[in-house]
Amino acid sequence: MVRSHKICSMRSGVVLAGGASTRFSDGDKSLAALAGRPLVQHVVDSLGAAVDELVVVGRSEDQAERLNFLDADIAVDEVKGFGPVAGIQAGFSWASGDVCFLAACDTPLIRSRLVELLFEMAEGFRGAVPSNSHLEPLTAVYRRRPTVEAAEAAIERGDSKIIELYGDIGPIRLVPKEDLRGADPDLSSFLNVNTVEDLEAAGRRLEELI
């Protein structure tokens, strides 16, 4: 199927799964079960309906082996100490698309339609980032090449905050979350699972959505 959007000929989805899970007491958060499936599987399934390829970024070769069951390419973040910035550099470097949707493994309720809408809203920009009282940089669209270059430059100068990339990426469209309710009425796409209690809450929300 030939896509009608103008921003690129190929869309990639990049899922960051290598976080340290410091606030999650049950080991590897990406593999925590929600409704019988790992958190990361929920994210991969939702993105898979809206992109042409998927890349999941793990923090080590050991974790990459544990993620091999996914229908996605697995990249490894080999630069330690830079958090998501290093994960972005690894995942976007691996990806082939001109534009990428970036997601975290702990957002299991992300909606495919919201992903598609942010791709559309990124046309004419080098990214589209949801914003309200704060930015949502890990549920956003970015042009691949400028983002790789910005991440590499940030690592070189010792910056580990995603927002520090924006000046180097170029013009980014800030999208009010309210403008996304047509694709995700209750904005469940932004629900993060950081603790076991959050996981339980996500399970209840998922039951309501089914």
Closest CA to 76 of 192, 97, 133, 67: 67
pLDDT along the chain (210 residues), means of 10: 45 90 70 95 97 96 95 95 96 97 97 98 97 95 98 96 95 97 96 92 86
| 7/199 Cα distance (integer angstroms) | 35
What pLDDT sits at residue 3? 34
Q: Please name each of the domains of the chain with its CATH number.
A: 11-209 (3.90.550.10)
β pairing state of 99-104 and 11-16: parallel
User: Distance between CA atoms of 42 and 75, rounded to whole angstroms?
Assistant: 18
Residue 157: C-alpha distances to residues 45, 99, 170 (Å): 36, 25, 18
Whether 95 and 111 have beta carbons less than 8 Å apart is answered as no
The whole model's pTM is what? Answer: 0.92
- Summarize pLDDT for 150-207 with one digit per residue, the tens: 999 999 999 999 999 999 999 999 999 999 999 999 999 999 998 889 999 999 998 8
Q: What would the two tokens of residue 9 be?
A: 């000929």
- Find how far residue 135's CA is from the centre of its chain: 14
Q: Return d(Cα 102, Cα 147) in angstroms, integer.
A: 11
Nearest to 146 by CA among 167, 128, 163, 129: 167
> Which of 133, 137, 132 has its CA nearest to residue 169?
137
**Residue recorded with tokens 């042009």:** 143
pLDDT of residue 26: 59
